[in-house]
Every structure is written in structure tokens, then in C-alpha cells.
Structure 1
């Protein structure tokens, strides 16, 4: 099966060729071939404005956009459709990151629409265009329930809830950094790939082929730093923390916590102390598991998000039912 049904020719970051001169409420819609530096800046700016004030709010940068939309293992660019107004300014975008080997679904990002273009049908058109261009089953990134109309947008389009995740947050501390038992970091382990693969299989539920590629995917993330991958060798547990900064703010995302019940609180407390030591503004976590260990570590529940599966996918039983490759925080 071909992975792309139909992709219209792109004309660069500021001049995407419209799909048969499609215009929606005065906005030109078309596909682009790649991620130029200027386009990544535009996409990041619009994404940041779209999430501001909701539970999925976090720092977004051009480097983060490039690393999250590009396939980590193959380097293939996303299937990306954009909309521009009469002046050429970016009014909306929607993208699909191509699936990696072993992933049952590709990841949908967006649609993201500028405030002046909302309630014009532009978001629906962007979604329709990018979905029609690919043949993979799709799963959304985190769709926050506190954003008016966001979940209804997907349910109205026939998408079904695949997972529900809890978003937790902790602002910068006012007092001294808490003490914690020192853990090993990725910099101190010789066979890091083997350690991560074993943890991915044991705690993350990943198949062997997917587990072996886990570290490669993490390293391709613009936020990855070896010193922020915390390990507990006595239990084989780990916590992946991703630091992100932009011009306005910063955060530490607790992206993956794989471990025994006894190790998880230690890992979380160590990560919170790591954020304090690096003077990051906030700590965020997104989990499908019981949030109690995060709350015990001093974090508060901020909200809830759904992840939606595309309507053309069969009900559970299609592909992987546990879907471990999509189990982490979808909207970093």
C-alpha cells in the first residue's frame, strides 16, 4: 500500500501551491514539501498562540517543531498542509508525522488555526486535506478538554477517543531545592541502548523491534539531553525528562516514567529537583497511568486530554490494541 495517496507539489515555505486554487473564506490552502527554518518559526508561533492558557500550554520553538514533525528514524518530512491569507501570512496548518517501523498509527498534529480564521471552516478543510493525502491510521496529539470545541471538533468528524491522559503541572518552587537520592544518568551507563530497550519492553510494553529504536527516537527530539535521562539500575527503571525553552518561558517535561512502584516516586522527585537546579519555570507531566506518584511529588492535576483515532480505522482489534508506541505524551 502506498503511504501517500496524493500530495500536491509544494512551492516552499511562503508559497505553497494551492490545491487546484482552493480558497476557503479567502485563505489559500496547499501542501508544502519540507520544513524550512522560516516555516518552522511560523508554525511554532501559531502553535504557541493556539495553546496559550490551556492545560496543554508549554514552550514551543522552531527546533521543537522540526524534531517532532520529522520522522526520527528515517528523517522523512511530514505531510503538511498550510493555509495563508491574502498577505501571505500563515493562517493555519495541519500535519501528519510519518509512522516509524512498528508504529500502528501515524501522528496527526493540528489543525491549528489563527484566531481571525476560526469558525470559517478552515480547520475542517485542513483536516480533510491532510487525512485524504495519507493511507495510514492516525492518532491525534493531546486534545485538551478545557479548550472550547476542541474535542467536539474531532467527535463531530467521526473520530473516536483512543486514550485519555492526565496533565500535571508544578510551577517553579519558592523554597530551597528538595533533597533526593542521587540517581544514575544516561552519561554514566555503557550500554545505554540495551538498558533503554529492556525498560521499554518490561515497563513500556514495547515490542522488541520498537524497543530497540526507542533511544534513537528520543535522541532525535530537540529537547533530549543525556543528563536528563535518569536511571535506577537496581530496578531497571528510568525517567526521561525533556527540557524546553523559548523566548518567553521554560519547562521540564516528564515524558516517560518506566519503573517499579517503588522506583517511580524516587525518579519523579529527582526530576523535580533537576528542574529546580536548572532554574526551569515549570514541570509538566502527561500520563495515562495513575497520577498519584506525581501528586505525591508535589505536582497538581491541571487538566485532561483525549487522544483520538481516525474514523477510517476499525474498532479495537485493528493493528495493535495496546498501542505502546503511542503511549507517551503526544503533545510535547
Structure 2
């Protein structure tokens, strides 16, 4: 009887050692899974830092491009006349306000991204602390359960036959193995689901940022094209106005010269004495008519030039 009790205790110690080895192996697997998750998190953080660096480079390039365009614009503005000065100051003020609004928007977006990153890090920290607490709680419960099972097994081993004890231990081991496999399967499925959800959210965020950047680039290109068209149209109208004024001045000069010439001819005709009884011949009678015919086309040409200039001016305003 004493020999049987000693043998039962020896078998119980062997079973307890196997259970402890099994628990240690399970703990190592959990630690390996946790290290893998931390490595994945570090890789995601490194990718986020790289994206921030690229965003900073893009902002610097855009700033340099804006500065270059501003210098070119100032060079062109210096060549314009004084009558455009007020308009240039107004345009410059609007441009500065737009750039200020754009910089404020970019700073707000940067602050929002930093806030989201901070929230993400805090959530991950809280999640790690929660998992550590759950792990400690599970370990405590497993220890209590193991101690309870040990006491029950020792009591049962002293009361039952060795065959019943061996059969019960075999069934308990199979049950524990099934539970362990089910827990591992559930943990793997949970981690895979979390990974898929995070990857999907990251893809959606990157796609949204890409669409927003493309929309902003298209808006800037359209605004630049509109300003260029307005500038070209204004220069064209100024050229037409200058041409019209030049032609008007030439027309007035020509009319003044014609008037002076006519007055001079009239004075010459008045000073020259005519014969008392001499009648004008046919050539003298036709001379005024020829002069009228000569002046008539000149007047018609001047009128046609004025009408054409007015039509061009009206057409330019409509455009």
C-alpha cells in the first residue's frame, strides 16, 4: 500500500512537470507573437516618418517655385507704366492673402496629422497596457487553476485506482490540447483580422490624400491659366487703344494740314487778280470738281478707318 502511494506521487510529479513545460512553451509563443506585432508597429511608424519627410520636401519645393514665380512677376511689373501701379498693388495684396491662407491651411493639416499620430500612439500604449494586464490576470488564474487541479489530482490519485487515474489524466491532457489549439486559432484569426482592417484603413487614407493633392494641383493650374489669359487680354486691349489713339491723332493732323492747305490756297486765290472780261474755260470749271473728287475719297477713307477701329474696339471688349 505504501509503495502504491509513492508511485502515485511520482506520477503526479511527472504530470505536473509536463503541465509546467506546456505552459512555458505557450508563454514563449505568446511573447514571439507580441514581438512580431511590435516590429510591425515600428515599421508602420518608420513609414509614417518617411511620408512626413517627403511632405516637407514637397512643401519646400512648392515654396521655392512660388518664390521664383514672384521674382519673375516683379520683374514684369517693373516694366509696366505708372497707370498700372494701383492695380498691381491690389493684385499683390490678394496674392499675399491667398498664400497666407494656404500656409495656415497647411499648418492646420500638419497639426491635425500630429494630433492623430499622438492619439494613435496613446491608443497603442493603452492597448499594450491592457494586454499586459490581461496577460497577468490569465497567468494568475492559470496558476490558481493549476494549483487547484494539482490538489484535486493528488486527492483523486490517493482514492482511485491507478488505471482510472491514468485514463482521467489522458482525457484531461486531450482536453487541454484542444483548448490550447482553439485559443491559438482564435488569436491568429483576431490578429489577421486586425491586420487586414489596418491595411484597408491605411490604403483608404493614402488614396484620399492622393485625390486631394491632385484636386489642389488642378485648381492651382486653372487659376494660373486664368490669370495669364486676363493678362494677355488686358495687354491686347491696351495695344488696340494705343493704335486707335495713334490713328485718331494722325487723322486730326492730316485734317489740320488739309485745312491749312485749303486756307493757303484760298488766300492765294484771293490775292491773284482775275481778268475783267475773261471767262473761265472748261479746264478751270472742272478743276474744283476734280478737287472735290480728290477730297471725297480721302474723307471716305478716313470714315472707313474710324468705323473699322470702332468695330475692333467693340469686338475686343466683347471677348
**TM-score bracket for the superposition, by shorter chain length:** under 0.3
Work out which of the two has the higher radius of gyration on C-alpha atoms and give 1 or 2.
Answer: 2
TM-score (norm 1): 0.16
TM-score (norm 2): 0.16
**Which has the higher relative contact order, 1 or 2, with Cα contacts under 8 A spaced 6 or more apart?**
2
Structure with greater proportional strand content: 1
Structure with greater proportional helix content: 2
